[in-house]
Copies of this chain bind each other. A is one copy, B any other.
Amino acid sequence: MTTDTELQTIELGDIGGEIRILDQTLLPFQVEHRTLASWEEAAEAIKVMRVRGAPLIGATAACGMALAIRSDPSDAAMFKAADGLRKTRPTAVNLQWAVERCLSILACTKPEHRLEVAWKEAALIIAEDKAANRAIGEYGVPLIKALAEPLGGEPVRILTHCNAGWLATTHLGTATAPIYLAHAQGIPVHVLVDETRPRSQGAALTAWELERAGVPCDVIADNAGGLLMQRGEVHMVITGADRVAANGDVCNKIGTYLKALAARESGVPFCVSVPTSTIDPAMADGFGIPIEDRGPDEVLHATGLDPEGTVRTIRTAAEGVSALNPAFDITPAGMVTTLITERGLIKPQHAGHIVG
């Protein structure tokens, strides 16, 4: 389903060679790649969300460090790039994690050897992410299978929020990994995809991914999940996360918390798929995580295709109206049934602290 090399979210060439991303701001209407020529271009790609999703942000930051070294392997240039990359987005911890990881190995490497080390570290981060996603998928499949058994051939109906698919990672996705593997194994699934305003990553990215992979799905308004759970039409929720605190609180795309409340109320399992690089042992609980404010424009506008096939951005609110746009929220650990990680399943409800 993601074996098409034309559609890798990020590609790292040979040492010192080309680094290319899939520009997600144009999806699903245009599939275009873009070469990152400098760390500044990597930072811009993260900032304007040409790449997005915690794991892919981490991988892109590592590539940004490699690009910085390529143009200037000095300490000064390296620390400047690390700073610039770190500041692009505040919430996803994978960004900080990847920059720190690169810095810690580069700092004890002589400048003349840094290019090779930086390139190899970026490649390793990408390879590890691919392996982590597959392991997440394998740990997650039995959860779906257990729900499928009493349904006698009816699909397991899984609600997901935002995009934690292969577009958010380097392969298979986090939330989608168990879904893709279950589908490949013939377990019937049907995915309910939250539109995920204001940027509509669910409608634009997740539904596009699932449709391409032949996984049955429907887009729903972000408002609809509660009713569908009340009616028993959702068997499971799986989302990704941008950061998980040491106590298991989950910081994810705004609106996740509302679905967790509804899932708890209706007894629907609420699962969060994350590589362990998304867990932040230094953050005691979720309410300390900085929540990015992305400004009013995203809320007041929508982007899509007009009937003639032109991509347009329109203003959906009345002229002169303002907006608030916090981009993430916190789902307390007690509402999270299972964290699906590449190292196995964690039950935050039953653990005082998941790490630390």
Interface string of A283-320 (1 = CB under 8 A from B): 00001000100001001111111110000111111111
Residue from B208, B224, B326, B329 within 8 A of A326 (CB atoms):
B224
Chain B residue nearest to A218 in the complex (CB): B324
Interface string of A206-231 (1 = CB under 8 A from B): 01100100000111111111111010
Cα distance A208–B319 in the bound complex, in angstroms: 8
* Contact residues of A between 159 and 215, Cβ < 8 Å to B: 192, 195-198, 200, 203-204, 207-208, 211
Q: Is A28 an interface residue (CB 8 A)?
A: yes
Residues of the B chain whose Cβ atoms lie less than 8 Å from the Cβ of A296: 218-219
Chain B CB within 10 Å — which of A28, A195, A196 has the most?
A195
Pairwise interchain contact A207-B321, C-beta atoms closer than 8 A: yes
Pairwise interchain contact B325-A224, C-beta atoms closer than 8 A: yes
Pairwise interchain contact A255-B228, C-beta atoms closer than 8 A: no
Residues of the B chain whose Cβ atoms lie less than 8 Å from the Cβ of A222: 197, 221-223, 255
Cα distance A325–B220 in the bound complex, in angstroms: 6
Residue from B29, B223, B302, B307 within 8 A of A304 (CB atoms):
B302
Pairwise interchain contact B226-A261, C-beta atoms closer than 8 A: yes
Residues of the B chain whose Cβ atoms lie less than 8 Å from the Cβ of A291: 227
Shortest distance from the beta carbon of A245 to any chain B beta carbon, whole Å: 14
Pairwise interchain contact B204-A318, C-beta atoms closer than 8 A: yes
Pairwise interchain contact A304-B299, C-beta atoms closer than 8 A: no
Given contacts A197-B195, A223-B197, A265-B261, contact A314 B306 (CB under 8 A): yes
* Contact residues of A between 251 and 268, Cβ < 8 Å to B: 253-255, 257-259, 261-262, 265
Shortest distance from the beta carbon of A295 to any chain B beta carbon, whole Å: 12
Pairwise interchain contact B318-A220, C-beta atoms closer than 8 A: no
Chain B residue nearest to A230 in the complex (CB): B330
Residue from B203, B265, B321, B329 within 8 A of A226 (CB atoms):
B329
Q: Which 8 A-B pairs have the closest CB atoms?
A: A223-B255, A304-B314, A28-B318, A208-B318, A227-B329, A302-B302, A203-B317, A304-B316
Sampled A-B contacts (8; CB under 8 Å): A195-B316, A198-B221, A219-B300, A219-B321, A220-B323, A226-B258, A226-B329, A305-B315
